[in-house]
Amino acid sequence: MALVRLRAPLRQLAGDRSDHALEGATVGEVMRALEREHPAAGGWIVDERGLIRRHINVFVNGELGGDETAVGAEDRVDVLPAISGG
Amino acid sequence: MTELVVGTRKGLFVLEGEPGGPFEVTTRAFAGETVEHALRDARTDRVLASVTSPFYGPKIWYTDEPAGEWEQASGIALPEGGEAALERIWVIVAGEADGTLYAGGDPGVLFESRDGGASWELNRGLWEHPSREHWQPGGGGLCLHSIATWPGDPDRLAVGISAAGVWLTEDRGVTWRKGNEGLVAGYVPEDAPPEEIGLCVHRLHRAATRPERLFMQFHGGVYRSDDAGETWTDIADGLPSDFGFPLALDPADPDSAYVIPLIADTDRVTPDSRVRVYETRDAGASWAARGDGLPQEHAYLTILREAFDWVGEGEGLELYFGATSGDLFGSGDAGASWTTTATRLPPVLSVAAR
């Protein structure tokens, strides 16, 4: 299972834990698994269309990924708010 | 003591004070977040806030104590698996039925809560309206920003959508029909097909003691309807500009309305570098400037649609408005005189007085 790492405020919504081991073959699948396991985080990362919100960045082993980016069992997935604005 | 719940670009502020005097900030919540609209429901004392995170999307939160813990309301989302996502909740309004509240948002959606704001449900009649494919967004998005309830009748609502015009229901939102006759969109050719004309309503309020009467600030026009929103008459003659956003009413006087004109859509600041509220007491036949105590030189303020509210009525009517400059102004005598209520707040998006 991939290791998903969260920061505030997502960490508080996901059982007050930073690290989560989750199943999923893509970033989108892993994020949806996170929201299923922690309903309080529902809608915070993935919107109604099933897409990762525009200003959330997901990195797989340090590289910026998207909904369809492949995730392996040994991968590390970091979820961070994007640097937006000027 | 009057309480103001103020939504700003950088959090929610609660202020308290006496009419005509400066107010004190007693609480700040959601620091750093955009609070589009917030109010205290007078029926329950519960405070509700619409908070739009650029990262995590729009949410509604509620609490009985703004300085304490807030709960996230459920149901503030569009149907899963569709092509649209909820962008923002623009307004929250108390309904007529016990425990009922309404919330309006982008893309032109209405939510209803029947449990005081803890859980919400999308209004399907408006969401699935067959004309929706023709609706056009205004500059701020496809925002449902005005919800006019009908005193004593929970079945009747009027909502304003920028730029999809006015929509009316008489069966508590099961079916909806347009209420736009008489509105003139000066920003499109006169021979444009009616279904393709975006009607950019800026603000809508209903007269409390004569509910078939509505007042509207339009994108180029101030209008009145005396038939519950079926038809509209332009009443902007006498104003320095027919452009603006907010609108306020005196609940005791169905002939009253207050607007705060801005120069034009191309220059959205107060005209003549002065801040003046305009008042009518004859249903728009004439307007009087009310600027006593407001900045009268080198003042270029922008007042947004939710940033003007009132409490009380008649001679004791209190009026409050906030500007994107972070200034907040108030009147304790129905607009005859004004004082600076607070300064140096973040840009003010909404004001709710109680």
Number of domains in chain A: 1
Find the CATH number of the domain harbouring A70: 3.10.20.30
Q: How many whole angstroms separate alpha carbon B330 and alpha carbon B106?
A: 30
Q: How far is CA A44 from CA B10, B192, B320, in A?
A: 20, 41, 34
**Coil/strand/helix, residue A82:** coil
Residue A38 domain flag: yes
Residues of chain B with pLDDT > 70, as a percent, come to 99
DSSP B345: P
Q: How far is CA B200 from CA A50, B24, B138, B168, B320, in A?
A: 31, 36, 6, 16, 24
The DSSP secondary structure of B289-324, one letter per residue, reads: EE-TTS--SS------TBSEEEES-GGG-EEEEE-T
Chain A nearest-CA distance from B90, in A, is: 18
Its pTM stands at 0.95
Chain B nearest-CA distance from A71, in A, is: 23
Residues for chain A: how many in total? 86
Write the CB contacts of B21 (distance below 8 Å, at least 6 apart in sequence).
Answer: B339
Q: Are B79 and A53 inside 8 Å of each other by CB?
A: no
Residue A43 domain flag: yes
Chain A nearest-CA distance from B66, in A, is: 19
List the 27-86 stretch of B: residues with Cβ below 8 A of A. 54-57, 72, 77-86
For residue B100, the model assigns a pLDDT of 98
- Within 10 angstroms of residue A73's Cβ, the number of other Cβ atoms is 10
The DSSP secondary structure of A37-62, one letter per residue, reads: H-GGGTTTSB-TTSPBPTTEEEEETT
Q: What is the mean pLDDT of chain B?
A: 96
Strands A76-81, A2-5: pairing kind: parallel
Q: How many whole angstroms separate alpha carbon B335 and alpha carbon B326?
A: 20
Residue A30 domain flag: yes
Residue A31 domain flag: yes
Residue A64 domain flag: yes
Residue A86 domain flag: no
Closest-CA residue in chain A for B57?
A44
Chain A residues within an 8 Å CB radius of B54: 55, 84-85
For residue B197, the model assigns a pLDDT of 75
pLDDT of A86 higher than 60? no
- For residue A45, the enclosing domain spans 2-81
DSSP B32: T
Per-residue pLDDT tens over the stretch B229-279: 999 999 999 999 999 999 999 999 999 999 999 999 999 999 999 999 999
Q: How far is CA B87 from CA A53, A71, B76, in A?
A: 11, 29, 11
Q: How many CA atoms lie within 13 A of B67 on its CB side?
A: 5
Residue B306 phi, psi (nearest 5): -90, 0
Provide the ipTM.
0.88
Residue A52 domain flag: yes
pLDDT of B89 higher than 60? yes
Chain A nearest-CA distance from B85, in A, is: 5
Q: Are B82 and A81 inside 8 Å of each other by CB?
A: no
Chain B residues within an 8 Å CB radius of A48: 77-82, 84-86
Q: Are A84 and B55 inside 8 Å of each other by CB?
A: yes
* Residue A14 in contact with partner chain B when CB distance is under 8 A: no
Chain A nearest-CA distance from B86, in A, is: 8
Domains of chain B: 2-353 (2.130.10.10)
- Within 10 angstroms of residue B345's Cβ, the number of other Cβ atoms is 22
| pLDDT bracket for residue B195 (50, 70, 90) | low
Closest by CA to B326, choosing from B310, B315, B342, is B342
- When CB atoms are compared, the residue of B56, B72, B79 closest to A48 is B79
Q: Are A84 and B82 inside 8 Å of each other by CB?
A: no
Q: Are A48 and B55 inside 8 Å of each other by CB?
A: no
- When CB atoms are compared, the residue of A48, A50, A85 closest to B86 is A48
For residue B330, the model assigns a pLDDT of 98
Per-residue pLDDT tens over the stretch B276-326: 999 999 999 999 999 999 999 999 999 999 999 999 999 999 999 999 999
Chain B residues within an 8 Å CB radius of A81: 55-56
Residue A47 domain flag: yes
Per-residue pLDDT tens over the stretch B102-156: 999 999 999 999 999 999 999 999 999 999 999 989 888 999 999 999 999 999 9
Q: How many whole angstroms separate alpha carbon A58 and alpha carbon A5?
A: 10
Q: Give residue for tokens 């309080």.
A: A40
Q: Are B72 and A48 inside 8 Å of each other by CB?
A: no
